[in-house]
Amino acid sequence: MKKYSFELEDILEYKKFDQEQAEQEFAKALSVENEIQQKIEYIAQQYLITKEKFKNTKDFNLIISQNQYFNLLDFQKEELLKELAQAKIITEQKKEILQEKMKATSALEKLKERDKEEYDQLVNFEENEFIDDLATKWSNIQTYKNNNDMPNYAIEVHSLKSDCKYLGFMTLDGNNKTFLSEKIQYEANKIVQDCYNETLDLLKNNINDLHIVSNHLFENETMTHEELKSLIRKEMC
């Protein structure tokens, strides 16, 4: 099975980028709001400090100056409160935009998760089917061997060999390595090795049959299943 790929990956990446931009805008709005709040708090501190500093003064000029300063602080505070109210509106707008971006991203991420789960289930199903098929062929090979059914034995061995070429064991894709599951690797290695050993033994024990088949192929280049069985049966007779 080909490597997993989410069909909407490009759209998901764009949504993530869009969300990051919204997060930055929201953070900027919060920063402006906090800066205004700090200025308001500074004014309140200055009010208290000044009041404490001149609380016992009876100097008329100082009292007038203090009141003028308080009026200035009050004016600055009123202006900052207006700015703060506007900043809060902007922050709330940026927050709503961010929430919408997050919902869009989250929806695609959940869709990708479900898609990946379905892919993994399919891979697991195909792996199990593949292992079952290998096991069946290996069982058939043992049966044909015990029954001395060389034609079918040879066909099943060839089929098993053909299946093994799809194992791959490891593929390289850029910097990524993809391994088959350990379960498949173990079972495949065991089957192939056992089959190889059995084949060597059978070739040694049936060398005459091998020469007959080789001679036929040398003269005719091809051989059907029926011709193979016929040749071996004649030799057995």
Stronger pLDDT, 151 or 106, i.e. the higher one: 106
Mean pLDDT across 181-200: 66
DSSP string, 42-80: HHHHHHHHHHHHTTT---HHHHHHHHHHHHHHHHHHHHH
Residue 134 belongs to some domain of the structure: yes
Residue 85 confidence (pLDDT): 95
The percentage of residues in the chain with a pLDDT greater than 70, rounded to a whole number, is 77
Residue 213 belongs to some domain of the structure: no
Residue 44 belongs to some domain of the structure: yes
Residue 133 belongs to some domain of the structure: yes
Residue 201 confidence (pLDDT): 75
pTM over 0.85: no
Mean pLDDT across 154-172: 58
- At residue 199, the 3 state secondary structure works out as helix
Residue 116 belongs to some domain of the structure: yes
- Locus of tokens 């929201």: 26
Stronger pLDDT, 47 or 178, i.e. the higher one: 47
Residue 210 belongs to some domain of the structure: no
Residue 219 belongs to some domain of the structure: no
Stronger pLDDT, 130 or 112, i.e. the higher one: 112
Enclosing domain of residue 190: 9-205
Range among 25-34, 62-71, 215-224 with highest mean pLDDT value: 25-34
Mean pLDDT across 73-84: 94
Residue 236 belongs to some domain of the structure: no
As for how many domains the chain has, the answer is 1
Provide the token pair at 161.
Answer: 């060999």
